[in-house]
């Protein structure tokens, strides 16, 4: 098993015919994901290699969607996927206006859909399916679930894990924006319920209090071991560190506060990314 996506999930790619959409549709399919079609309004009936293109999501007959549409079209496209009953709906695109993100999340809640992102690399269940832009060759099938706010930092830590012979059940990027769909808590909840996940890695960063709230959740609801890494120990207050959500406001959102909250619920926090496999080995 894995969470959210596996080899049986039928996937539609919205914005499939753009530069990024084409490249990643092909790569996901090569990895073994069931890509049942792409959607680009006005290009229905065409073929992109062996992938049929549709005008609407309704025609594609998919379970889940991944979106490469431009930020200004994200709201409409995500609502289309959600209203057709698809889940998860993975919004890769960066720079989606926060008002649109809030609208999408409320609509998803009403329809019981899981939204991943926006501004996310997506997710992968190694050996089963890729529903994102993560470089698949660094992953290895296994039993550690990973959830992260950052893309490239995830790759860094996954690479260390795979080299240390620690495979992954599912790795999920939740995105670096202030308003996102799935968060640490909803991911930890799924991993806790997943039989094939034995331990979890949570990669956080400065800004907001998602890590602190996750720590509370771990105390109450998580029995499996969790290890963590928090980026931004040396970040100055008041400056956005690349991600829209990565900013220390006043005294809240600091790495220290997050590390303290996690340590208080017996979650060890690695000082450096390459220490994660060692911490996992100690916990397993």
Partner 1 sequence: MVSKIGVEVIIMKLLEYEAKDIFVEYGIPTSTGYVLEDVDNLKAILYKMGLPVVLKAQVLVGGRGKAGGIKFANTEEEAVQKAQEILNMKIKDLPVKKLLVNKPSQIEKELYVGFVVDRNKKKMTLLASTEGGVDIEQVAATAPDKIQRLDIDPIIGIQEFQCREVARRLGYAGKELRSLATIIYKLGRIMHDKDAELIEINPLAVTPEGFEALDAKLIIDDNSLYRQTEFKKDVKDTQEYTDIEKSAMEAGLAYVELDGDVGIIGCGAGLVMASLDVVNHYGGKPANFLDIGGGANAENMKKALEIITMKKGLKSIFINIFGGITRCDEIANGILDFKPSVPVYVRMMGTNEKEAKEILNKAGYELYQSMQEAAKAAVKGA
- Of the pair 224, 280, the CB lying nearest partner 1 is at 280
CB of 52 to partner 1, least distance (A): 22
- Of the pair 61, 76, the CB lying nearest partner 1 is at 76
User: Which residues have a Cβ under 8 Å from the Cβ of 170 and sit 6 or more positions away?
Assistant: 2, 3, 4, 5, 123, 124, 125, 126, 145, 146, 191, 194, 197
CB of 196 to partner 1, least distance (A): 26
CB of 107 to partner 1, least distance (A): 6
Reduced to 3 states, what is the DSSP secondary structure of residue 187? helix
Q: Of the listed 24, 95, 111, 243, which one is catalytic?
A: 243
> Which residues in this chain contact partner 1 in the complex, by CB under 8 A?
20, 68, 70-72, 92-99, 101-103, 105-107, 110, 119-121, 133-135, 148-156, 159, 176, 178-179, 203, 205-206, 208-210, 213, 229, 231-236, 239-246, 250, 271-274
CB of 45 to partner 1, least distance (A): 25
User: How does DSSP assign 240-262, residue by residue?
Assistant: --SSTT---BTTBS-HHHHHHHH
- Of the pair 41, 196, the CB lying nearest partner 1 is at 41
Reduced to 3 states, what is the DSSP secondary structure of residue 106? helix
- Of the pair 121, 126, the CB lying nearest partner 1 is at 121
Among 245, 177, 172, residue whose Cα is nearest residue 207: 245
The pair of structure tokens assigned to 181 is: 């769909």
Strand pairing category for 47-48 and 51-54: antiparallel
243 catalytic? Reply is yes
Q: Distances in Å between the alpha carbon of 41 and those of 18, 26, 54, 73, 199?
A: 12, 19, 7, 12, 42
Q: Give the active site residues.
A: 243
């Amino acid at each position: 098993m894995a969470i959210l996506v596996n080899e049986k999930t039928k996937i539609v790619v919205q914005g499939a015919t753009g530069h990024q959409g084409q490249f990643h549709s092909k790569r996901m399919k090569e990895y073994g994901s069931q890509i049942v079609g792409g959607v680009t309004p006005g290009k229905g009936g065409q073929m992109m290699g062996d992938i049929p293109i549709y005008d609407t999501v309704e025609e594609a007959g998919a379970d889940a969607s991944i979106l490469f549409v431009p930020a200004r079209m994200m709201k409409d496209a995500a609502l289309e996927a959600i209203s057709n009953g698809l889940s998860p709906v993975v919004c890769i695109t960066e720079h989606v206006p926060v008002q649109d993100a809030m609208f999408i999340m409320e609509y998803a809640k009403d329809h019981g859909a899981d939204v991943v992102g926006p501004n996310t690399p997506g997710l992968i269940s190694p050996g089963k399916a890729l529903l994102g832009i993560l470089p698949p060759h660094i992953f290895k099938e296994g039993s550690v679930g990973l959830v992260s706010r950052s893309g490239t930092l995830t790759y860094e830590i996954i690479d260390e894990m795979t080299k240390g012979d620690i495979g992954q059940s599912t790795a999920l990027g939740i995105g670096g924006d202030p308003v996102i769909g799935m968060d640490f808590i909803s991911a930890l909840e799924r991993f806790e319920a997943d039989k094939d996940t034995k331990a979890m890695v949570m990669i956080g960063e400065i800004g907001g209090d998602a890590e602190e709230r996750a720590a509370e959740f771990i105390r109450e609801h998580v029995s499996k071991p969790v290890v963590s890494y928090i980026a931004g120990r040396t970040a100055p207050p008041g400056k956005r560190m690349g991600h829209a959500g990565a900013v220390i406001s006043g005294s809240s959102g600091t790495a220290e506060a997050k590390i303290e909250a996690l340590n208080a619920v017996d979650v060890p926090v690695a000082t450096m990314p390459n220490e994660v496999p060692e911490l996992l080995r100690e916990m397993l």
